[in-house]
A and B are shown apart, each in its own frame.
Chain A
Amino acid sequence: MSRARILLGSATGLIIVAGLIAAPFGLKPYGIYILTLWAVTAIAAIGLNLTLGYAGQISLAQGAFVGIGAYAAALLTTHGWPLGAAYVVAALACFAIGWLLGYPALRVQHHYLAFVTLAFSTLIYLVLRNEEWITGGIYGISNIPRPSLFGYLLRSPRDFYYFCLANLALVSLAAWWLIRSPWGRAFVALRENPVRALSLGVDTRRYTLMAFALGAALGGISGVLYAPLVQYIDPTPFSLLLSLNLLLMVIVGGSGYFFGPFVGAVVAVLLPEWLQSADRLYDALGPLSDVMRFVLPPDALKYVAKHYLVAYAIFVMVLLVFRPSGIIGFFQRRFTRRKPDTPPAAPVTQAKVA
């Protein structure tokens, strides 16, 4: 890695981090809410990236783990427990359940594994909906309180945003360390060639289970933050659709790249919102808009805003057809001129356009 590249990388990183910290001051509560949702979703996507991107184990159950985490947080905090307790319960429960879910992965791979995890996801959804005595069923759980930190209640959108951003930072650091540790190397070995990994003395059995358990635990932590963010939960958001959406984030962002989930979450959470207000682009540009109008007629933008889900779906399809290694993979190749040291996993056909 050349010195110039390191400089460029750290400068970009610093600008992005500074932007994330400064953002709430230029945004209305709606904008802050969306950014918070991005941070929360990115945590779950980082978890799935460990399981899928690094260890190569496809999982359609990440949404279910977010659900388990969210219900743990909702149930505990509405019964007077602090959110800290929810972290412990959700992370441990998801780690344990994820570990158990890893066992089928020892026997089945690829599409078959996808179906096993899909069944698990459906199972969790049904439990959340039908076990009314604990989950409240389809009525859900309302009035989930925002957490306090050292006695300070994080009630305002901005405070809670910083809280979630700090969580994301901690999770990112942990994931960064993990990927560079022998564990991370073992994950990649497992993905690239399980037989060779085994012959080199990697305990593939343990690392497969670990990949599932760690990914699931991060899903749980994401859920712990989701519940106090929305302040009302019911089973609907944790259906299979969320798992597919998280899978989409990992693939679109760049599966097996550290920054993939961050970018993927931008695409899945922020892009639909931006497209929805595409027709107001010229209001924001000011004098520049007179030039832009010749390039892109306002009527086209109005059309995009009206059919934003269609525009979004087309964008994702085009991206995956032409750049199967995702956005980060695309940039990495363009700027380094050599093959990335961690090539992306094979594109997954089940990616669903939400």
Chain B
Amino acid sequence: MKKTLIAAALATVFAGSALAQSGPVKFAFIGELSGAGAVSSTNFRDGALMAIDEINAKGGILGRKIELKQYDTQTNPGTARSQMQKAIDEEPYVILGPIFSGIVKVSMMLAQQAEIPQIMGGEASDLTQQGNAYLFRTSFGQQVSMPKIANYMRDSVKAKNVAIVWVNNDFGKGGRDNFTKEMNARGIKIVADLSTESGQTDFAADVVKAKAANAEAIFVYLNEEESARFLREARKQGIAVPLIGETTLLGQKVIDLAGDAANGARGHVGLSADIPVPAVAEFKNKFNARFKYVPDHNGIKGYTGVYAAAYATTKLGKFDSKALAKSLHGMTISPKDEPGILLETTWDDKGDIDRISYIAEVVDGKQKITSELPKLGK
């Protein structure tokens, strides 16, 4: 009896060590699965799940399947920190998420100390400015998207006075601060600076103020539902000046909610499921078929994030978190080499990304791309 027990124990130990080399490779997803960030993070998570299942169906990375563990931050910084610690105690190869910038901020230090690459969804500009060599974006930071929209404001809209309507959370405030800076740099005056609440339903007063300011264009930087409500109110009060937005304002969800009022809205689209690239359209259909809802840009972020880690690992030829972080800096992944990346993407030395983006307009209830902006590095 005793002997069999010892033999069994030994067998377990050996099996364990063998497993560490050929068993599944651990990915950790840490995100806002409940609370205010649930919609964005569920999108990101489902995108990542889809990519992982596709990669596993093809035999995994270097012959090892990916195993995804999920951790819920509840959109609460205190919980986020504990969940990040929990994720790191399990020694994952890569960490995906979180999505909200504030939640990224409270948790990124831990991943950095553990030297595990963190591929996240936050867009606040200061995240990548702190010298964290393990943090990677999956979309433009606001320091990239705001200059693009500012150039558009100056060159195409030719506005001298603009109003800005923004939502008072970390996303809106960060965008507003960057936008203001870029406007000042281009000598464009901000004549109305209107802060609104997340979840606000009545935008009548804000539209009145924007109108009274005699702006030549209004920059609308709100989350999806609030964007639609603002567009409806602006239409109701007969605002004639262009309504300019960044990604969110021109998204399909806003168009669906705002109806006719969305027509004429225009601006910059960094990443969306509506961009005219066949691979993205195919992604959107696959996603919709599996999860029964239309993905937003966060779905693409999760999906491409997993493919980036998988591609870089295959190039590396081994599983080494530290080396992975090093190799992702300065790496360009093209859909020719890895179709899962959808759009050619370059990571710079800070973990910021560079990609093509688009200028679009809403025409007859559809997002219509009017021009393509090249990668900054080209």
Q: Determine if A232 and B77 form an interchain contact, defined as CB atoms under 8 angstroms apart.
A: yes
Could you say which of A139, A233, A276 contacts B173, with CB atoms under 8 Å apart? A139
A-B contact pairs, 13 of them (CB 8 A): A29-B88, A33-B82, A37-B78, A37-B82, A129-B168, A137-B173, A139-B170, A139-B174, A140-B105, A142-B106, A232-B105, A236-B75, A309-B34
- Least Cβ–Cβ distance between A332 and chain B, in angstroms: 31
A138-171 with Cβ < 8 A to chain B: 138-140, 142
Chain A residue, CB-CB nearest to B75: A236
Q: Which residues of B contact A231 (CB under 8 A)?
A: 81, 106, 109
Could you say which of A34, A137, A226 contacts B82, with CB atoms under 8 Å apart? A34
Interface of A is mostly: helix
Q: Which residues of B contact A233 (CB under 8 A)?
A: 77
Interface membership of A196, Cβ < 8 A: no
Interface membership of A192, Cβ < 8 A: no
Q: Which residues of A contact B109 (CB under 8 A)?
A: 231-232
Known A-B contacts A231-B109, A232-B105, A232-B106; the reply to A138 vs B168 at CB < 8 A is yes
Interface membership of B236, Cβ < 8 A: no
Q: Which residues of B contact A276 (CB under 8 A)?
A: 72
* B19-47 interface code vs A (CB 8 A; 1 in, 0 out): 00000000000000010000000000000
Q: Count residues on chain B whose CB falls below 8 Å from chain A CBs.
A: 23
Interface membership of B76, Cβ < 8 A: yes
Interface membership of A230, Cβ < 8 A: yes
Could you say which of A29, A129, A230, A309 contacts B78, with CB atoms under 8 Å apart? A230
Known A-B contacts A232-B77, A233-B77, A234-B102; the reply to A29 vs B168 at CB < 8 A is no
Known A-B contacts A137-B173, A139-B173, A140-B105; the reply to A236 vs B82 at CB < 8 A is no
Taken together as a complex, chains A and B put the C-alpha atoms of A178 and B169 apart, in Å, by 42
Q: Determine if A237 and B78 form an interchain contact, defined as CB atoms under 8 angstroms apart.
A: yes
Interface membership of B337, Cβ < 8 A: no
Give 8 nearest A-B pairs by CB, closest first: A30-B86, A30-B85, A232-B106, A28-B89, A30-B89, A138-B170, A33-B85, A33-B82
B79-110 with Cβ < 8 A to chain A: 81-82, 85-86, 88-89, 102, 105-106, 109
* A204-242 interface code vs B (CB 8 A; 1 in, 0 out): 000000000000000000000010001111101100000
* A10-49 interface code vs B (CB 8 A; 1 in, 0 out): 0000000000000000001110011001000000000000
Q: Which residues of A contact B174 (CB under 8 A)?
A: 139
Known A-B contacts A236-B75, A236-B77, A237-B78; the reply to A29 vs B85 at CB < 8 A is yes
Taken together as a complex, chains A and B put the C-alpha atoms of A20 and B168 apart, in Å, by 42
Taken together as a complex, chains A and B put the C-alpha atoms of A232 and B77 apart, in Å, by 8
Known A-B contacts A28-B89, A142-B105, A232-B106; the reply to A273 vs B82 at CB < 8 A is yes
